[in-house]
Amino acid sequence: MRVPCPTLPTLLLAAWLALMAAPLDARELATPVEDLVEVELASVGMSRLTGSPVVLLREMVSGDVVPIFIGVPEARAILMAMHDTPVPRPMTHDLMRDLLGALDAVLERVYVDDLDEGTYYGMLELRVAGQDSPLRVDTRPSDALALAVRTGARILVAPQILVAGRDLEYEGLPDEQVVTALGITVVAVTPSLRETLELPERPGLLVNRTAGLAAEAGLDPGALLLEINGEIPTSPMGFLERVRATPSGERVELRYWQDGQEHTLHLPVDAGRQVDEAEDEGGEIRT
């Protein structure tokens, strides 16, 4: 007798039921949510000491940039998402994002909540349709960060991890520099891009993507970023350093060329902050 082959929705439903039955909360957060610090994933670099890949996290309030170690495949996955690199078929983290969407689940936050004997620990927080409470799933932080870049989920890190990483020396990648700060992702301008986008022959950086306050203010992908706090950015990492040097509480002044005109924009140093459904109208985090 011929057995009918299960349809894709049936397989997805079976996978979701198996996931729901698994002990998602087998590990509790090592750091209380209220003690975690929101960061922005700024870029991928490498350790000057070991040459190993690191992901650079920018603290929203202080502006400090802190590296944490990740694996080579995850570094590549993060860079591909930051560059908006097209792929012929979904890669692993693209599949995870698409699977969440197919199951009507939203990745709202990712946590890097512990560092124990050189191992980082992370957690995903999912909001599932029809469920009052979020689901938390244990994960490697590098996978969580690769997903966060693809979904816009907020990233929160334990203070002790940020303190531990402040003395680690890092540098940008020589050939694949892409940096996000203030919700603005920038890359170097190549001659072909300058010609295609009809950009003026002036030094600056190409805006690859915008989010949050920068997008709301009208800064669009394809703009040419001319100055940060009165200085011309010579590289994506230079953009990050100028933003980093802005004193806490002050606004970053950006000058950019867009649609044939120059514009000036002033953004707070925490302009890259993401807002999710876990915040009520008063801005308080619901735990």
Structural tokens at position 41: 């994933």
* Phi, psi torsion values for 165, nearest 5 degrees: -95, -5
pLDDT at 283 (0 to 100)? 38
Class of domain 8-171: alpha beta
pLDDT at 17 (0 to 100)? 42
* Phi, psi torsion values for 81, nearest 5 degrees: -70, -40
| Same fold: 8-171 with 183-268 | no
Closest Cα to residue 135, out of 108, 103, 102? 108
pLDDT at 113 (0 to 100)? 94
Mean per-residue pLDDT of the chain: 84
CATH node for 183-268: 2.30.42.60
Residues 109, 274 contacting (CB under 8 angstroms): no
How many angstroms separate the CA atoms of 153 and 106, rounded? 9
Structural tokens at position 30: 């090592």
Q: How large is the average pLDDT for residues 113-117?
A: 91
Per residue in 51-107, pLDDT tens? 899 999 998 878 888 899 988 888 988 988 888 877 778 788 888 888 888 888 999
- Asked if residue 9 has pLDDT above 50, the reply is no
pLDDT at 15 (0 to 100)? 53
* Cβ-proximal residues to 81 (8 Å cutoff; 6+ apart), any chain: 93, 146, 149, 150
Q: Whose structure tokens read 């599932």?
A: 128
Residue ranges of E strands in the chain: 37-47, 53-59, 65-69, 105-116, 119-128, 135-139, 154-157, 170-172, 178-181, 184-188, 205-210, 224-228, 251-258, 261-268
> Can you give the residue ranges of every domain in the chain?
8-171, 183-268
pLDDT at 276 (0 to 100)? 56
Query: Three-state SS for 231?
Result: strand
Per residue in 170-223, pLDDT tens? 888 877 789 999 999 999 998 998 899 999 999 999 999 998 899 999 999 999
Going by pLDDT thresholds of 50, 70 and 90, the confidence category of residue 224 is very high
